[in-house]
Structure 1
Amino acid sequence: MQKDWRILLLEEILFLFLASGEQACRITIDSPVIRLGSPLLASCSSNCPQIGRGTVVWKLDNNFLAEDQYRNIQENTSSVYFSSFNKTSGLLQCYVNSKEGFYLMDQIHIRAGYPPSPPSNLSCLLKPSNNFVTCTWLSGEDSSLTTDVTLSGSRSVEQCVIPAKTDFDYNPIKGQNFFNIPRSSYHFSKRLTVWVTVKNEFGSATSGPVCFIPREEVKLDPIVISETKATTTGCIKLQWTYGKASFVKDLKCQLRYRNEFQTEWAKPMKRENANAKHLWYIVNHLLQKDISLCHTTDLNCTFLLPHGINRAFIWAQNTAGASPVKEINFFATKGNPVSRMYASPNNDYSIRVEWEPQVHATAYVLEWCKSAQLPKCEFNWKTEFSGSNTSILQENIEPYQMYTVTLYPVYMENIGTPVQTNVYSKEAAPAFSPELKLDSVNKSQAEVHWEPIPLEKRNGFITNYTIFWIDTHGKEEFSTVNGSVTRFKIKNIVPFTTYQVFLRSSTAGGSVNGTILTVYTTFPDNTFLLLVLSLFLFLVIILVFIICIMKHKRMKNHLWPTVPDPAKSQMGKWTSFMEEMPRVMDNPPDVSQFLTSDICIVEGWQGKKPLTQCQETPLKDTDERNNWRSYVNTDTVQYAQVITGGYREQSPPTSVYGRSDSTQPLLCDMSPSPQNYENMWFHSHHQEDNVFLVEEEKNVMDYPLLHALQIHEKGESVNLFN
């Protein structure tokens, strides 16, 4: 797994603190060798006594990096971060930009690559001419790093496994995929196990072992043709000698030829090289050419063999005539099969087939065709005689295609049960990787499946599938499954998270990535509903807050209304009301315009006066009795029309109070008298008929609002305090 960049940054900071006492002036990095595409963090300190202070800048391969790619950790220290280092190599340099110019403080060469891939197709053959066992193999994917190759072997292994101890280790020349094991390292007739190991900075990988007996795996030297001579019958006579192979007996040769200007060698004659353009084949159980079981231009046919017939005849035909007849014998497949058959690439256009010979077999028949075309494919076939255990298949062999090879041992009276195997002459990465499809997903796991790659698009044996899943923070995880698996369950993933999932398909010839599937994990239990409600509440709070900000004045007036301060009131300075002398109306036309009530005269009264003690108090003199009317308590109470002065030249409202049917006295009740700072009524220290306790003259003057209070009677206004 790749390190998180924050962990890398913390490591760099700790290292810088430790190195600060040594006046470090160099680049610090976790490792100069990293995996290609992984994050990289490097730090550089300009705390150098020989270099002045200045700004730290970075350079990668002679190009200055953008300022937003690095930052200062502390004074005179800078770090640079690559979220994905995609260069196989690069020179990272750290400069300090001072007044004198740019000074190089340190530089480091960074290399990036991948872990090594195991070699494949390991095979070994003995060369009798020099007694070398030559082993060849195919290298894995290029890791972009220096890779060491070691060929190892052991002579004392009973089973074909890699032992803990080796008998020899050889290092081939760099770039070579073969090595010659000398005669001193193996026993001529004893079992030998060989394997190849590759290693780089990220680790090592080992091929599968190959086990064989050297004398049974022989690659003969080429035959030397000593003489060629044309005969009078239109044929060519050849004479040749074998190479050095004294221990090999019963050698058989296969003659191949080609025209001077052709590049391919001739096995049977190809159709295009036939003696006529129109060529067909006839199969019959008798030699009578006018009756046939099969008549076709293809290279195969199916027919019903008549009862009791166990042989047939085949010949080729064109407009010029017929070819010689070939007899075909049909046997029941009741014999024993070969005990082992192994097919491997010989080169890009041929396949090598090996098997364990049967003692009583008189011949071996091999069939092969493209696996993707089965069962309706054109079979190619070849016969090997008794004693053979190896054959090279070359007809219609193409790279990147799977072939099914079938081997039949032929006995005197029957045919052995066939043995089949599949093989490629050369492998490559698949044409594409399957598309992932989501089956199910919940809070902690997701299940995906995919369809197998069609045979004609695989380009090799699918060795494995690798499923990758990456979250929104770039954290990558993966799991590798067998090539036969088509379903996988991703476990232990985080709820309510988006993942990108893709599939990598691998063969011995390479790998290819598929398309990305986006997976959304669900909420755990009722968390989704809770989150939605929380989000809704949060939005409501934000909306209310915005409204309050936009309408703050109106909200303030509603919630915290402004209360005037009487001490700062300017009403006492209003001359329009203070200079006007109040007059009391005589003979009012409507008694409803007067305020009538029982008036109690209170002088220096500190407590509450009982209701029975309320009496009508005579006025001081006759003039006052004429001007002021003694009010008595009646069954109905009339309220006067009260006019207050306007505020700051505004028109004052007129309040008209209607009649009340209450028979209760207005003033002489059981309620306590108001304090001197409460509810002032017609209040004047010049009048004896008042309903408020007047302790000092200054109490009335403290309330200028009462000076504007007037009684309106018969079109005239009366002010009680003037």
Structure 2
Amino acid sequence: MISTWVSVIVMLVVFVNGARNEDGIQPCAKVHTSSTVVPLGSPVSATCVIREDCPLVSGQALQIEWRLGERFIPSSPVANESSRVSQTVISSFNHTRAVLTCCIRASPPQVVAGVEIRAGYPPEAPQNLSCQTNLSIPNTLTCSWDPGQQETHLLTKYTLHTEIWDLSKNHTYELPPGVHRYVIPRTDFALFSEMKIYVKAVNGLGEVTSAPVVLEPVSAAKFDPPEIRKVEIVPKKYSCLRLSWNLSQHQVWMHSYRLNLEIQLKTADSSQWNEQPILVTRVRPVDQCRLLHGTQYFARIRVRYQKSPWSEWSSSRSGVTLESAPTGRLDSWMKVSRDHMPKQLNIHLFWKPSKQFRANSQNVSYVVSVQKLPGEKGKVCSTRGNYCTFQLPGRAKKVYLSAVNAAGRSPPTEIRIYQPKALAAVFDVTAVPQDDISFLVQWKRGAPSGLTGYVVEWKPLLATDNSHIQFETADKNQSGLIITGGFEPYKPYGISVYPRFKDGVGPPQTVNAYLRQKAPSMVPKLRFKKKWKSHSELTWDEIPLEQRNGIIQSYKIFYWDQKGPIHIVNADPEETKVTLKDLNTKSPYEAFMMVSTLGGSTNGSTIQFEYEPIDAVSVVMILTASGVAFSLLIIFLVGCSTIRQRLKVRFWPIVPDPANSSVKRWTSESTQDSHLSWDNEDPIYLSRLSFLDLPTKLSKEEDDLWLKSGEETSDLGESICGSPFIPGYCGSNSDSVPYATVIFSGPCSSPPPTEPHVYLRSESTQPLLEMEESFSPKCYQNMASDGVLREQCFFGSSHDCVPEEEAETVIRWDDFPFLQALEMNDTQND
């Protein structure tokens, strides 16, 4: 745009400064160059000649200057010429377009002449000329070409030329600048007449022609996609399908000409068409054979005339070949366990087609039987899936697997039942993505005897159905295997390696793997939990498996207070809590979590928490917990004491101590309440209970008899006192104690006696068991012959004794309710 304005200014200046004569306006000066279009980078020379009658220089000395655009360039006067002629040379013209001007030095300089110079490259010969005929309405012939890689920087014109030899017609078509494609109308060519086509390119530096193309327009026709009408079986041919097809509506008339046809096939369970299309020259109808029996195929076709371009592929249609009985064997994998019943085997059997297996049908089922011959007897499983679960007796050794369709049954595949073994032979299993569809599984081998191979099993962890389990076998010498099984990115898979032995299957080693990983889809919410002193605990829930998108590598907790720096704590990926230590109890905190996998990290939302000192509720809780703990300690100690006492009684039985027995203790609460005077008196010690059926009134002689008996008993005790055989009997520290005999006047059923009950004293020198503390009895009350109770002392005097008059007390039968409950025995003397 600037160069254009400069050219306009130069022309205006020359017009104004020109001289008028009879021929019109003449320029004041003129610039002569070798060419106004030059190759880019070539030298350019120019000469400026000023007219004698130029009004700008009349009567003045001249000084001529040169400008290239806005830049001055050196000049030199021409030898043997006047000062009105000047010359300049540009050694390398590096502008694609520039204005060269001749000026007279003045103030300001006066432009007297100028010329525009263009630079560029000559055109390249057009490449890749091709023409294609459209047989649809309207019929046309479209030709296109490539102008070349180098830019010419010059205006280049292209023309398309056609020569029809049979008709002696030539046509030339001029194209607008920058257009490299032209559509020849149907009137300028004949479908079945050969013609020559070429392209010519012209610019200021030269002219060039493309290589010519000789063709018959119909051979350059690209047909519309054909249509497959149907795909059907060929009678009595198990491996053949017949295709019927048509051209499009506007090209049906071409059926009578020799066309070429290509067919592509694929099975229903395949995602790829066969790489090498099938070329067919006999196009109606088309039979395709050597196909699998009973298999669904999809077919598509395309056509062309001789060597014309292929049409686009048609829409696909499907057909099924005739089915036959399945052939080949099945690859299997069995897992055996004894979970509940020791005499029963729980069996999980998986299978897949081997390379030799052919289902030969669309509807195939699989039968597992304990018998080799076909039949309902012995069948344990029948399914259309790829696995089966059943139970067998513990003595079962093998099963048979067969594929069945409407045409028959495959030969049975024998599968031995291997018991699980505890012998490990696989270590350090790893699974690394190999590409976008497979894993490289590697392991370290053990060296146990009897090893026959390995089984690599994998399944998606988000699917619980066993139908998704897949497996591959490996030789015993292998330590790695590439597995391919429709893996999806960002989904977890469990990959296990089992060792196989001659007589069993060893325990597996399992790893989780992802084909590709990315940042988790969510971050768990942090929860604050106060702990003791300046420590706090942050907890969170585990991320659901379907939202992890990879193996969790780390949990990072970022926390800070209003004044301090940001702190980072790394949590164990297996944990869901972390403890924050040394917190400032007077400042609120903020925190967030970052969860990372190998594919990226995700930050969670920020929470705020403030650590508060221990409040009253915390104190109450602490005291309550301490009280509970103390109570449990007391219960534990008491329990231990009770257990100790029971053990002591068990191994060291307690012998009754007569010195610690008391009739007083047998008295009921009501009796104790009515006789409070007994509470301060010493107990009576009993040697035995005698139940006598006494008469209502006891005679004087009988009284004396009892008294004598008592005296004799007393004398016996006194006689023993001081005996050399039992030393230490007498005295308050003696081991012997006084005994007493209780006499009842009648049985329990008799009416209460009117006489007071009688206590007879009995003194025994039976030594007592050794006790921790010695016991010294003091006094006891005895019945005199007159029926009056008198307190007596034995083994020496006692200051606790009182006169008999002061100790007179009437004892009643009601004072002893325990004794009332005892059965009365008949003890009358002969």
Aligning the two structures, in what range does the TM-score lie when normalised by the shorter sequence?
Answer: 0.3 to 0.5
RCO higher in structure (CA 8 A, sep ≥6): 1
Q: TM-score, normalised by structure 1?
A: 0.34
- Of Structure 1 and Structure 2, the greater strand share is in 2
* Greater Rg over alpha carbons, structure: 2
